[in-house]
Amino acid sequence: MKLINWLTIGFAVFTLIVTLVFFSWWTMKDSVVFGSEKFDQVKWMQHAATIEQECKRGDMAYDLQQNVLSKGTARDAVGVLLGRPSYEDEKSMEYDLGKCMHVYHGLLLFFDKNNRLINSRISSH
């Protein structure tokens, strides 16, 4: 009976540790996976059509999201800075980041009715 109690406690502790590690990684993954380079407009534009790199723009996405694009930025200014998006509708734009971590990702930008940036996120497909 004592062995079962110790195994139950050990399993609960193991589960707690795995859960904490997973959620810690999940909250920091964008900065770890997509934050190794500063945004460079020339590289961004050059990597738009490349197939040589899997994660072609991913390394710049976090810096772009956190330090370059700010809430309230005009949609036209985003287009001038980043070029033609991979996808666009009246409320959002998405830029292809490439295949990062075995999944295709994009930088998704959301705009309000006045065409001002309200939010951005890195999405996976």
Please report which helix (H) or strand (E) contains residue 118, including its range: strand 117-124
Task: Inform me whether the pLDDT recorded for 30 exceeds 70.
Answer: no
Phi then psi for residue 111, to 5 deg, are -125, 150
* Alpha carbon distances (Å) from 38 to 57, 60, 105, 112: 11, 6, 18, 27
From 7-16, 28-37, 57-66, the region with the lowest mean pLDDT: 28-37
Confidence bin at 31 (pLDDT 50/70/90): low
Most confident listed range (41-45, 47-51, 52-56, 109-113): 109-113
- 81-85 long-range contacts, CB within 8 A, separation 24+: 81/41, 82/41, 82/44, 83/44, 83/45, 83/48, 84/48
Q: Quick check: 99 pLDDT over 70?
A: yes
Reported as a pLDDT band with limits 50, 70 and 90, residue 33 is low
The pLDDT assigned to 90 comes to 93
pTM for the predicted model, two decimal places: 0.73
Domain parsing of the chain, residue ranges: 35-124
According to CATH, the topology of domain 35-124 is Beta-lactamase Inhibitory Protein; Chain:B, domain 1 (3.30.1450)
